[in-house]
């Protein structure tokens, strides 16, 4: 069974987190969420307060992410939401994690402002996309595109809440194949 580590922080965009988590579970992917705290600060909460105020209880704190996470999980997901993406992308431990997943050819997926983690982690020049609010930062270092979802080797990037379903389904396809993507897609009853 494939597995995914999904990061979350205060300020994470709810839709990007929940749609991705839910879609992966529907495909049979074992998902584990990890709460990332701002550098140098310890939260007293056992939940993440997302960008629109929804509270989500993660499966574990960042401190419990295994040191060999890239050997334990098949994918890592960095959702957006400006504040959450900033917290996640600026954390040196997360930057190292992203580089490790990328280097080991595991699926590295980022959506919305979460794509800034590619820059902060020092991933190499390649095609990617993001929310327009961080385009200028990424456009200088990457082959920036505005497609809903970009796949470049083992890096998947996407634009924002409105592209969360195609983003999640692309992760499903990378982890489980095109037939599983179709199997998950059809019962969701997307409009024609």
Among candidate residues 13, 14, 16, 62, the one labeled active-site is 16
CA distances from 111 to 45, 120, 167 (A): 25, 14, 8
176: annotated active-site residue: no
Among candidate residues 31, 50, 120, 131, the one labeled active-site is 131
131: annotated active-site residue: yes
16: annotated active-site residue: yes
Among candidate residues 13, 50, 86, 112, the one labeled active-site is 112
Q: Catalytic amino acids?
A: 16, 112, 131
């Amino acid at each position: 069974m494939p597995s995914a580590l999904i990061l979350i922080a205060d300020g994470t965009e709810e839709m990007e987190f929940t749609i991705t988590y839910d879609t992966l579970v529907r495909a049979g992917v074992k998902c584990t969420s990890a709460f990332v705290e701002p550098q140098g600060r310890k939260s007293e909460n056992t939940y993440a307060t997302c960008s629109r105020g929804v509270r989500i209880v993660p499966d574990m704190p960042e401190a419990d992410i295994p040191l060999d996470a890239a050997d334990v999980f098949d994918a890592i997901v960095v959702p957006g939401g400006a504040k959450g993406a900033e917290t996640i992308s600026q954390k040196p431990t997360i930057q190292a994690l992203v580089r490790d997943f990328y280097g080991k050819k595991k699926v590295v997926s980022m959506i919305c402002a979460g794509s800034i983690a590619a820059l902060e982690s020092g991933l190499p020049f390649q095609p990617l996309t993001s929310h327009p609010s961080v385009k200028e930062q990424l456009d200088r270092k990457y082959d920036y595109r505005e497609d809903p979802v970009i796949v470049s080797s083992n890096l998947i990037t996407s634009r924002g809440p409105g592209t969360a379903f195609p983003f999640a389904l692309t992760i499903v396809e990378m982890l489980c194949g095109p037939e599983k993507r179709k199997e998950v897609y059809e019962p969701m009853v997307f409009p024609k």
